[in-house]
């Protein structure tokens, strides 16, 4: 009797193809999310700098 141990080449190729398809779907979504996050952080930093400058101006005016 033949006992099957391991995977055939076709099975491995199918798994690799499924993983490649999943990566091709997820990667663009994650890069868009990272870009949005970086833009948000830059805006927060700008607002913080402006508030700091306004506060310094306020202290210097007194």
Spell out the per-residue pLDDT of the chain, length 62, in tens. 566 788 899 999 999 999 999 999 999 988 989 899 999 999 999 999 999 998 888 888 76
Q: Where along the chain do its domains lie?
A: 38-62
Q: How far apart (Å, rounded) are the C-alpha atoms in residues 7 and 18? A: 16
DSSP letter assigned to residue 28: H
Q: CB neighbours of 11 closer than 8 A, spacing ≥ 6?
A: none
């Amino acid at each position: 009797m033949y006992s099957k141990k391991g995977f055939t080449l076709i099975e491995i190729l199918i798994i690799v193809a499924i993983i490649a398809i999943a990566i091709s779907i997820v990667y663009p979504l994650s890069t868009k999310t990272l870009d949005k996050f970086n833009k948000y952080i830059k805006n927060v930093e700008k607002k913080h700098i402006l508030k700091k400058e306004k506060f310094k101006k306020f202290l210097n005016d007194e």
